[in-house]
């Protein structure tokens, strides 16, 4: 796709029981970067011959569901050992877009203090991507589609591994800010990203992302831990957590199941139980 790839940049993607569409999408990543590190949290190895044998991919089999934080760390540590300076962290179902990608990558030479550089996201929920010729400083960025400086990530202690899912990106951004680094968001590049299932509220006719009750558990537990750790951003984090619970109360069906898992998240936070949810 590109005549000249930046050999300093690789992609790192964490997978768990991927379907055929995910695997085909991951293969496309290799047309954008020099190498793709695939961290497989599944219990059984994938049998795709191209992924397992091609020099474009490094397949790292974990054998159990370690979560996103540990998975990203496995891939990023190996990439740093192999000489890469930057990692494009991806979800298996997120899609890269060719337009302006080379300009997006070139920001690593301009934003020298950047711990992470994020794109815009194209998804539903009424939010429209409007291309602008600007780059802004932000407090938080999602890992999917973002370029992470591996040297800075190493200095800051890698991604948080106890969260399992949800919040390791926010924690990293906040630690970066607390240590004098910055997080940036570009307005001229976007990826296709669909976290959750898009639904429309019956009362306010607002589009929102619907997730599982289990995800509510991780949000409740991990947001509380973020609030405890990052006191200077406590007010914003508290508002964000309240918004998550507001959606459960007013938007979601099966509120009892969501509220039950939200309470369990609060319980396990108080008891300092982290990692994967255990009944």
Q: What is the mean pLDDT of residues 46-56?
A: 86
**DSSP characters over 110-126:** T-TTEEEEEEEEE-STT
Q: What is the mean pLDDT of residues 61-77?
A: 97
Q: What is the mean pLDDT of residues 144-163?
A: 97
Q: What is the mean pLDDT of residues 107-119?
A: 96
pLDDT in tens, 225-258: 999 999 999 999 999 999 999 989 988 888 999 9
- Cα separation, 216 vs 220, in Å, equals 6
Roughly how many angstroms between the first and final C-alpha of the chain, as a whole number?
47
Provide the 3-class DSSP secondary structure of residue 11: strand
Q: Cβ distance 124 to 225 under 8 Å?
A: no
Q: Which residues on adjacent β-strands are paired with residue 38?
A: 13, 59
All domains in the chain, ordered by first residue? 9-192 (3.90.550.60), 197-270 (no CATH)
Reported as a pLDDT band with limits 50, 70 and 90, residue 12 is very high
Q: Is the model's pLDDT at 207 over the cut of 80?
A: no
217 CB-side CA count, 13 A: 19
Reported as a pLDDT band with limits 50, 70 and 90, residue 1 is very low
Q: Is the model's pLDDT at 126 over the cut of 60?
A: no
CA distances to 184, 216, 259 from 248, rounded to whole Å, are 30, 9, 7
Q: Is the model's pLDDT at 216 over the cut of 60?
A: yes
Tell me which residue of 38, 35, 170, 33 sits closest to 115, measured CA to CA: 170
């Amino acid at each position: 796709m590109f005549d000249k790839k930046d050999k300093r940049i690789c992609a790192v993607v964490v997978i768990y029981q991927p379907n055929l569409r995910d695997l085909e999408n991951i293969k496309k990543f290799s047309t954008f970067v020099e190498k793709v590190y695939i961290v497989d949290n599944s219990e059984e190895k994938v049998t795709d011959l191209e992924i397992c044998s091609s020099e474009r991919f490094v397949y790292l089999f974990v054998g159990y569901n370690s979560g996103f934080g540990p998975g990203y760390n496995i891939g990023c540590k190996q990439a740093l050992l192999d000489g890469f300076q930057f990692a494009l962290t991806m979800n298996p179902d997120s899609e890269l877009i060719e337009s302006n990608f080379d300009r997006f990558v070139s920001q690593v030479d301009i934003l020298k203090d950047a711990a992470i550089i994020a794109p815009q996201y194209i998804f539903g929920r009424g939010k429209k991507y409007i291309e602008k010729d600007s780059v802004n400083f932000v407090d938080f960025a999602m890992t999917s589609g973002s370029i992470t400086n591996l040297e800075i990530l190493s200095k800051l202690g890698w991604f948080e591994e106890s969260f399992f899912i949800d919040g390791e990106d926010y924690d990293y951004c906040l630690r970066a800010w607390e240590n004098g680094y910055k997080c940036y968001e570009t307005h001229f590049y976007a990826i296709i990203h669909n976290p959750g299932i898009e639904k429309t509220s019956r009362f306010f006719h607002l589009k929102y992302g619907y997730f599982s009750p289990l995800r509510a558990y991780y949000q409740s537990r991990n947001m509380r831990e973020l609030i405890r750790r990052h006191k200077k951003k406590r007010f914003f984090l508290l508002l964000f957590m309240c918004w998550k619970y507001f959606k459960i109360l007013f938007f979601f069906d099966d509120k009892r199941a969501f509220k039950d898992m939200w309470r369990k998240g609060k319980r396990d936070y108080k008891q300092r139980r982290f990692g994967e949810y255990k009944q």
